[in-house]
Amino acid sequence: MAQSTNVLSAAPRSDKGKGPARRLRAKGLIPAVVYGQKKEPTHIAVDPGLLEKAIATPHKFNTLLTLQLDGAEKRVLFREYEVDPVSRRLLHADFLEVDLSKPVKVEVPLVTTGKAEGVTAGGILTVSAHDIAVEALPEKIPVRIEVDVTPLKIGGSLHIADVKAPEGVRIKYATNFTVAVVSAPEKEEVVAPVAVAGAAPAEGAAPAAGAAPAAGAAPAAGAAKGAAPAAAPKADAKAGGKK
């Protein structure tokens, strides 16, 4: 299905440079350039607000625009732009004039659908390509290209050659790069507790051999009630002797 075109009015401009550009912006316009196929660039001025409204479609930057300039019409695509780093307002725009009978190369979003079998089994889905290059007639540019990841199991991957393009669209790539992969979940490493010298034993654990009982602790089981204390040291040989 052909996409509809939005109309954008433009005015020619002859002055170039930072000074004329500032004066244009003071009037609520921005400088822009239309690049044609084997044609000299055309310098124009456009209303940035009207431009943003013109591309506010599902196709976004790939919206086919009808540029009205000096009573003539050009079919263009919005290609490049510059914005103010603080206000994020448009400062400059570039357009590409297209021939409706010739394909153009653009980038379109790649959207995954379904739930991978590997994800159901606990795996992790990683999508490494969110936009892909395609070639299509200006009126046949797709809004997006969808790819079903449901069959992917843990360890399985999907490559760009596996993605099917809509009729009239050709996917462009130099290498068969990975689009999505399901990896196994990372196992948590269990660290064994390390005994610390002098640390109190865990509740219910037997004390270490030779360890002194805690203050106020009952005597060890099996000790004789009223047992005699350890033998006293021998008295001094001179103690109790005659003077």
**Tens digits of residue pLDDT in 177-221:** 999 999 998 776 666 666 666 555 555 555 544 444 444 444 444
- Sign (positive or negative) of CA dihedral 103, 104, 105, 106: negative
pLDDT at 232: 43
Query: Which residues constitute the domain of residue 144?
Result: 105-183
Please enumerate in sequence order all residues whose Cβ is within 8 A of that of 105, keeping only pairs 6 or more positions apart, or say none. Answer: 133, 134, 135, 172
Q: Is residue 92 part of a domain?
A: yes
pLDDT at 17: 80
- What pTM did the predictor assign? 0.70
Of 98, 116, 144, the domain-final residue = 98
CATH number of the CATH domain containing 140? 2.170.120.20
Find all residues with CB under 8 Å of 125, minimum gap 6, and list them: 112, 116, 118, 119, 149, 152, 180, 181, 182
Tell me what the pLDDT averaged over the chain comes to. 83
At 240, is the pLDDT very low, low, confident or very high (cuts 50, 70, 90)?
very low
Render 48-74 in DSSP notation, one character per residue.
Answer: HHHHHHHT-STTGGG-EEEEEETTEEE
Total number of domains in the chain: 2
Is residue 223 in some structural domain? Answer: no
Residue 155: the pLDDT is: 95
Question: Is there a single domain that holds both residue 110 and residue 62?
Answer: no
In a shared domain, residues 169 and 144:
yes
CATH number, domain containing residue 77: 2.40.240.10
Q: Is it the case that residue 130 has pLDDT exceeding 70?
A: yes
